[in-house]
Amino acid sequence: MNKVNVYGSFTQALFFSGVVSIPKYLLTHYTKIGISNMEMMVLIQILCDSETNPYPSSAAIAERMSASPTDIEELLGSLVERKLLSIERHWNPIELKWGNSYSFVGLIEELAELWAIERSQQLEEERALKQTGAVSSNLSSSVNPALENLVQTFEQELGRPLTRLECENIDRWLSVHYSQELIIEALRRGVSAGIRNFRYLDSILREWEKKGLRTRAEVEAEDVYFQARQEKKTSKGKSKGPKTSPSKYENFYL
């Protein structure tokens, strides 16, 4: 027989000698359920004979693995003891007698539980990523030129980066239609008064909103009117001696 015929005959014998189907999940996860490399090889040998011999002897398995029958029996005993492998009785209608077969139900259940745990963890991770993405998306959508401009202005005036809560406050002011110039004017007045917390600024903006003041010009006109009333009260003698006019926002600082 020439070399070509030998190779061809071997290839044909190889392909028609049959294949052993082993789940990929088992191959990639058997160590996670406590199966050793030798135990895994024993399981593969049992799977190899499952169609023709569902209960191969320890000696037959040992011969293929170059191991002693005693070693194989110990490995099989360990798998059975951990309920990863079991021995079942079945009736052979052809030979008309009872026989044994190996069952992989325990192994399958163990793999199924491991898969369920991993799947649950994966879903949790995906859910967390979606929530993170949603938060990022919300932040991205809320960061418009007006907000960016105000954040930069505030950070320059306050001399520090704003916290996330402070950025959300500014975004809320914009969402209720406070103009940029009005927000910046509130900031300027807060800084001038030495009060830099956002509750004080919010009280100023709410007071302007109550009075229907929507622009810096209207606010300044209101200031002139307020000052004129104070001077009128002073001229009537209701104030004794010179007195600095109180800030009309003091009552709103909490």
Task: Please write the tens of the pLDDT for every residue from 203-227.
Answer: 999 999 888 888 888 888 888 888 8
Task: Please write the tens of the pLDDT for every residue from 114-153.
Answer: 899 888 888 888 887 777 665 555 555 555 788 989 999 9
Whether residues 112 and 165 share a domain: the answer is no
pTM of the model: 0.47
**Domain termination residue (choose one: 88, 118, 142):** 142
Distance of CA 215 to the CA centre of its chain: 44
- Say how many Å lie between the first and final Cα of the chain, rounded: 103
Structural domain harbouring 221: 152-252
The CA angle 243-245-246, to the nearest 5 degrees, is 115
Quote the CA–CA distance of 78 and 89 in Å, as a whole number. Answer: 20
**Domain termination residue (choose one: 124, 142, 160):** 142
Whether residues 40 and 98 share a domain: the answer is yes
Quote the CA–CA distance of 220 and 83 in Å, as a whole number. Answer: 84
**Domain termination residue (choose one: 116, 142, 168):** 142
Task: Please write the tens of the pLDDT for every residue from 21-41.
Answer: 888 999 999 999 999 999 999
Quote the CA–CA distance of 203 and 169 in Å, as a whole number. Answer: 12
Q: Is the pLDDT of residue 253 over 50?
A: no
Give mean pLDDT, residues 59-80: 93
Give mean pLDDT, residues 166-174: 90
Whether residues 127 and 202 share a domain: the answer is no
Task: Transcribe 85-110 into DSSP letters.
Answer: SEEEEEEETTTTEEEEEEE-HHHHHH
Whether residues 164 and 135 share a domain: the answer is no
Q: Residue 222 falls within a domain, yes or no?
A: yes
Give mean pLDDT, residues 167-172: 90
Whether residues 234 and 204 share a domain: the answer is yes
Whether residues 35 and 89 share a domain: the answer is yes
Whether residues 136 and 24 share a domain: the answer is yes
Structure-block tokens of residue 20: 């052993």
| pLDDT band for position 96 (cuts 50, 70, 90) | confident
Residue 72's domain is classified under what CATH number? 1.10.10.10
Q: Is the pLDDT of residue 163 over 90?
A: no
Whether residues 118 and 157 share a domain: the answer is no
Quote the CA–CA distance of 108 and 114 in Å, as a whole number. Answer: 10
Q: Are 107 and 78 in contact (CB under 8 A)?
A: no
Please tell me the total count of domains within the chain: 2
| pLDDT band for position 107 (cuts 50, 70, 90) | very high
Quote the CA–CA distance of 217 and 207 in Å, as a whole number. Answer: 16
Backbone angles phi, psi at 110, to 5 degrees: -65, -45
